[in-house]
Each structure stands twice: as structure tokens, then as C-alpha cells.
Amino acid sequence: MTGVHPAWLPTSAFRPIGSRRVRVLGDGPVVGTVRAEVAAATAGHGGALVDDGPADLELVVASDAGETDPEAFVVGRAGATTVVRAIAGVGLLYGLHHVVRQGESAFTGEFPARRHAPRQAVRMLDHWDNVDVHPVMGQVERGYAGGSIFYADGVVRADLSRARAYARLLGSIGVNRVGLNNVNVHRTEATLLTDLLPEVVRLADVFRPHGIRVHLSVSFAAPITLGGLPTADPLDPAVGQWWARTTAAVYAAIPDFGGYVVKADSEGQPGPFDYGRDHADGANVLARALAPFGGTVFWRAFVYDHHQDWRDRSTDRARAAHDNFAPLDGAFEPNVVLQVKAGPMDFQVREPLSPVIAAMPRTRLAVELQVTQEYTGQQKHVCHLVPQWREVLGFLPWGEGGATVADIAAGRADGPAGGVVAVSNVGDDPFWTGHPLAQANLFGFGRLAWDDRLVPEAVLDEWIGLTFGDVEGVRAALHEVMGGSWLTYERYTAPLGVGFMVNPADHYGPNVDGYEYSRWGTYHFADRDGVGVDRTRATGTGFTGQFPAPWRDVYESVQTCPDELLLFFHHVPYGHVLRSGKTVIQHIYDTHFAGREEVCRMVETWSRLAGLVPVEVHERVTELLSEQLRCATEWRDQVNTYFWRKSGVPDARGRRIY
């Protein structure tokens, strides 16, 4: 393969536009992008970018008294012309890609004009990229697709063509903010804010024509480490002045800079606790520095004790974010967004919703997802996560009839808007994402952040059509391989919501007791009688009490707790009968055999695609599927053997356990 994989924007995806006469009206850098896309799509395909005369497609920026959202667009048909109108270039860009996704049907027959607008104002990707290669974490922390596309040799890359291609991909799915560096801010990375700022300007220039604003992760200790002050105490006036001065310099260089991302008092990062202050004090000092320029601080709620003693049964990591942040509701400046991981633990294959999300009606909340597959197969396994995110965003924290998580993030649940954020999964790998099929997770994130009501199968369908075209047999086979892969991954890994059971060093592969006696607060408590974490109010850590009704009661009782979360909330005997009618131990055996079998079927289905998808994609996925099968076999055998040895209960179907 030469060059970079086009992902979901190969020339063929633009075929419906290629043969058409297209008029683009408007000015500015993003309209320039629209024009360039149309010129590239039509060149050599019979169509043309035209100024006058009849057009098949008109893309127009025009003022509209009734429209206030620059990201919105209206698509309709006027006679034989498809017309896209927006009040700003960015809306036009989104409209163009809407037409691309619609394909021929955007040019056929009549249809009423329809307005499209994003459900979330903030649709952001965070990069955990280090400028330098970190001795333990490599260049991209939890990155499974090679090095950073932004940095090389301790600076921003001289050649930013990769970053440019990435910005184009993100613009096509509506992502509108990018965090440029790791939330764990190391020495060199801290200087992006100051010494390396001219380099950040170059990255901002790359993203701007695609409607994307850039953010920097900053260290809370920056006033000390960069500013030479004796303290970073947020209530010290000199500290506030330092942030104000430093931020003003950033805006002088990048007027549309988005703001900061901050991981404070978390996993060793400095924070306001160092000065006896709370997280509102901490976030607000940065927010005040950003406010005059319209900037936002994304303050992460991932705060917990990572020096826990496993003997201490009263400390529960799941409780930590709510304990730390819920009391601060209403105390944050208006330009603070609290960025909350979707689950209370850490991007596991299955977790309940973080209770923080329903607990802070006076705070802007962004839900944080993880596109990079840290705990879900590390882009060696097919694990299509769009159905998981759809479930998170559509979850009803107050039960039927109440607002969804997406409503809360969008500010539609009587609170202010925050948005949707995710950790990106790309690197300098020729396929962008290591696993070629993991491109669908990046695509799907953007699409769901735009509209959380989209059906995952339909999003997958869009991705398949754009990426592979309409090749007979490919669509159905890819749905078979990818559609249920999240649940397959769940079946062969940690059971019933209990989480982890991975190798602590890299979070890949099975290690049932890997975290059992660790300081990270991640336990399953399996003994000879049973397994699971008692998080009830009655006898456990009380975590269930952090949820509003009905979930506080649904989760509290073993009778009503959903099976897939049973071991997250309860410690139960192996013979406990699930709502499904199976015992816990038999469920563990059955799902582990089934999950591994499903991977065998993926391998078979994929083999049928030889000759139907590009050869380099076929080869890479074939190789990775054999690793997935090896690893799933290891998971099956280690988990089953572990629980057979602990419980002494044999498999009812007499299958081989070691």
C-alpha cells in the first residue's frame, strides 16, 4: 500500500458528486475546504465546479434570519438541483458530507427541505499524544496505532500532511474540537503552552479549515514548572495572574483556541488538593483566564485514590468521582465543562453509567468515551464500540420518560450544555487505527456525537458503504463480523460487569487476579463461594445510593439488577440464579465458550471476503483475527479454569476446562 489509507473518504465515496455540476457560494477558510473537496471529486469524473449556469448541486452560505447555529444546514431539492444552505462555512462542510453519505438518493426525485443540526455543540477528540516518546507509555499513551501524527523528534512534525488528512476525516464526521496532547502532561509537553506555542499555531492552522478548534492539556503545576512561581495555589493572586498572562499569549497566537483540558489530582498529576483547595477553586482559576477570549476548560472528573490498600473494604473507586464532585454542583464558572468518564471505573467493556452525570444539574457536563480500545482489545481485536456508546448516550438516568444522557450533555435536561468527548484511536499506522476495522469506531463516534439517536447498524452501514463501496457480499459479511463484536468481546473477557482481569502492565490479555491485590481499587473478590463487589447501601460500599431513582433501587436488589451488571453491584454465590435462569458459574462457562466460538465464526466470515476487499486490508485483518482468536482462547481457558478451581463446580455440559 502506498501512502495513507483514505479511510471513509476514498475518491469512490464522492462518486455521486463526481459527475455533477456544483456551485459553491461563500467565503472563508472552511468554504475553501468545501470548494477543494468538490474540485477534487469532480476532476476527471465529468463534473465541474461552476460559477454560472445550471447546477445539479448548490452549496450556499447565506444569511438566514431564522438560523442561529453556524453548524446547521438545510438540504432540499429545487427542481433538478439539490441545494444545501448554511449560515457559515462549517455548516456547509457538514452539508456537503451529508450529501456524500446520501449518495445518489440526494439527487433523485423530490424531497422536502430538511434542517440538520448537531445534538451536541461540543464533539471533541482528545489525543493522549506525547511530544517525546515516554519511556513506559510510548509516544501515544494507550495508543495502538503507532506513533503520533502530530509530533516527531521532540517537536511538531515538519510534515503535517498526515494531520491534514486527519483533520479532513474529522471534519467530515462533524468533530469540532481536538485536544492535542496527553492529559498526563510531562515536561516537554507542558511547554506546548509556552515555548512550543508557535508549533501549536501550525497545528491550529491545520484544523481550522475543517471547522475544528484546538485545545491543550495543561499541568495544574504550570505556574511553578513554567512560570517559576513558588506555588500553584489557585487562590494565590500571582497564580491567577500567571494563568491570565499565559492564556492571553496563547490567544494572541491562536485567536480561535478552544481552551484547556485538565487532569488534576488524578493518578499522580498535581491539582488543587495539593493546596487544600477543591476542584471548583482549581477549575475556576483557569476558567477566569480563558473567559475573556471565549475559551473553555474541560476539567476531568477522573479523581480517585490510586494508592488504595486492597485490605481496606470501605474505599470504593466507583464512588470517588461522585464523592469529589457532586457537592461542587453550581460552584463552577460558566466556561467550565466537567468531563466525566461514562462509567464510574475506567472504560471497561461493561459498566453502569457514572452517577455523576445525573447529579450535577447546575454544571456543564461532557461525557467522555474511549475510542482507543484500551480495555477492549487494543485494536488487535474487532470490537465495534458504537452500540456501547449508543447505549450510554441513550441511557435514562431517571427512568422511562426522563431525559437521556445525551440530553444532559446537550443541555436539554434543564441544565447547561457540555458535550461529548472521546479519546482518539489514531496514529501513524498506514491504516490510521492499527486494525483497519477500528476506523469504524472513529467514524461512529463522530456520527453519534452529532446525533445520538442514529441506529448503530445504520452508522456501520454508512461506514461500510463509504469505505468499501457497494460490493455484493461485503456489507452483510462486515455486519456479521463487526455488528455484535462488542458483546462477543464481553463474553470472552471479565464476566457480568465485574471488569478488569487484565494484565496490569499493558491492560491486554487475561490475568484474572492481575489487579486483585493492587493499589488501583479494581477488585472482583472471588473466593470459593462466590464473586463480585458488594456496592449496595444495605451491606456494601453504598455506591448504589449515588444514583437517583429508579436505578438506586434497581441496582440495590439482586432480584432486579440487570444480569450484565450483577457482579459490579453484588457479591453472589456461584449458584446464584440470574434473571436469565442460569447460575452465575454456568453463565461464566457458557459465555466464555460462546465468545470464543463467535471469534471462530468471525474468522470464517472474514475469509470469505478475500478478493472482495483490498488485499492489504484483507491480509492485515486476517493476521489480527488470528491474534484475536489466540487471545480469546486464552481468556476462555484462564477465566473458566480460574472459576472451576475456585468453585469446584463443574461445567454442566462437561466441556474441557483445565
- So which residues are the catalytic ones? 267, 346, 374
CB of 375 to ligand GCU, least distance (A): 8
Residue placing its CB nearer to ligand GCU in the complex, 423 or 466 = 423
Residue placing its CB nearer to ligand GCU in the complex, 174 or 344 = 344
DSSP calls for 289-319: HHGGGT-EEEEE-----SS--TT-SS--GGG
Residue placing its CB nearer to ligand GCU in the complex, 264 or 554 = 264
Residues 321-360, interacting with ligand GCU (CB under 6 A): 346
The three three-digit cell numbers of residue 205, written as one number: 492552522
Report the residue from 23, 97, 116, 142 that binds ligand GCU according to the rule CB under 6 A: 142
> Is omega for the bond preceding 550 within 30 degrees of 0, making it cis?
yes
The three three-digit cell numbers of residue 42, written as one number: 469532480
- The amino acid occupying position 197 is L
Residue 141 interacts with ligand GCU (CB under 6 A)? Answer: yes
What's the distance, Cα to Cα, between the start and end of the chain in Å?
43
Residue placing its CB nearer to ligand GCU in the complex, 26 or 521 = 521
Give the whole-angstrom CA distance, residue 300 versus residue 45: 48
Q: Considering only CA atoms, which of 390, 371, 375, 508 is closest in space to residue 440?
A: 371
Residue placing its CB nearer to ligand GCU in the complex, 310 or 508 = 508
Residue placing its CB nearer to ligand GCU in the complex, 67 or 374 = 374
Residue 279 interacts with ligand GCU (CB under 6 A)? Answer: no
CB of 142 to ligand GCU, least distance (A): 5
Q: How does DSSP classify residue 252?
A: H
CB of 262 to ligand GCU, least distance (A): 11
Report the residue from 183, 203, 356, 448 that binds ligand GCU according to the rule CB under 6 A: 183
CB of 516 to ligand GCU, least distance (A): 17
CB of 455 to ligand GCU, least distance (A): 29
| 330 Cβ neighbours under 8 A, 6+ residues apart | 362, 363
CB of 346 to ligand GCU, least distance (A): 5
Report the residue from 130, 148, 176, 184 that binds ligand GCU according to the rule CB under 6 A: 184
Residue 123 interacts with ligand GCU (CB under 6 A)? Answer: no
The three three-digit cell numbers of residue 155, written as one number: 517537536
Report the residue from 94, 144, 243, 302 that binds ligand GCU according to the rule CB under 6 A: 302
Give the whole-angstrom CA distance, residue 469 versus residue 614: 11
CA 83 to chain centroid:
33
CB of 267 to ligand GCU, least distance (A): 6
Give the whole-angstrom CA distance, residue 159 versus residue 149: 10
Q: Are strands 129-134 and 138-140 parallel, antiparallel or unpaired?
A: antiparallel
Give the whole-angstrom CA distance, residue 553 versus residue 560: 8
Instruction: Determine the size of the site formed for ligand GCU (CB under 6 A).
Output: 9
* Residue for grid cell 458528486: 17
DSSP calls for 499-561: ---B-TTTS-SB-TTTTTTSSS-------SSEE-----TTTS--GGGGSPTTHHHHHH-TTTS
At residue 46, the 3 state secondary structure works out as coil
* 271, 264 Cβ separation under 8 angstroms: yes
Residue placing its CB nearer to ligand GCU in the complex, 184 or 354 = 184
Residue placing its CB nearer to ligand GCU in the complex, 264 or 498 = 264
**Rg of the chain taking only CA atoms, in angstroms:** 25
Residue 263 interacts with ligand GCU (CB under 6 A)? Answer: yes
Backbone φ, ψ for residue 138 (5° rounding): 75, -160
Residue placing its CB nearer to ligand GCU in the complex, 368 or 598 = 368
CB of 571 to ligand GCU, least distance (A): 24
Pattern 544-583, ligand GCU, x by CB under 6 A? ----------------------------------------
Residues 364-383, interacting with ligand GCU (CB under 6 A): 374
Backbone φ, ψ for residue 623 (5° rounding): -60, -45
Residue placing its CB nearer to ligand GCU in the complex, 184 or 425 = 184
| 240 Cβ neighbours under 8 A, 6+ residues apart | 234, 285, 288, 289
According to DSSP, the residues that pair with 262 across neighbouring strands are 299
Q: Are strands 364-370 and 296-300 parallel, antiparallel or unpaired?
A: unpaired
Q: What angle do CA 530, 532, 533 make, to 5 degrees?
A: 130
CB of 499 to ligand GCU, least distance (A): 12
Residue placing its CB nearer to ligand GCU in the complex, 368 or 462 = 368
Backbone φ, ψ for residue 635 (5° rounding): -60, -50
- The amino acid occupying position 623 is E
Give the whole-angstrom CA distance, residue 245 versus residue 527: 57
CB of 353 to ligand GCU, least distance (A): 17
Residue 425 interacts with ligand GCU (CB under 6 A)? Answer: no
* Number of neighbours of residue 481 by Cβ within 10 angstroms: 24
Q: Considering only CA atoms, which of 301, 280, 335 is closest in space to residue 121?
A: 335
CB of 441 to ligand GCU, least distance (A): 17
Q: Considering only CA atoms, which of 221, 142, 143, 145 is closest in space to residue 189?
A: 221
Chain residues in the site for ligand GCU (CB under 6 A): 141-142, 183-184, 263, 267, 302, 346, 374
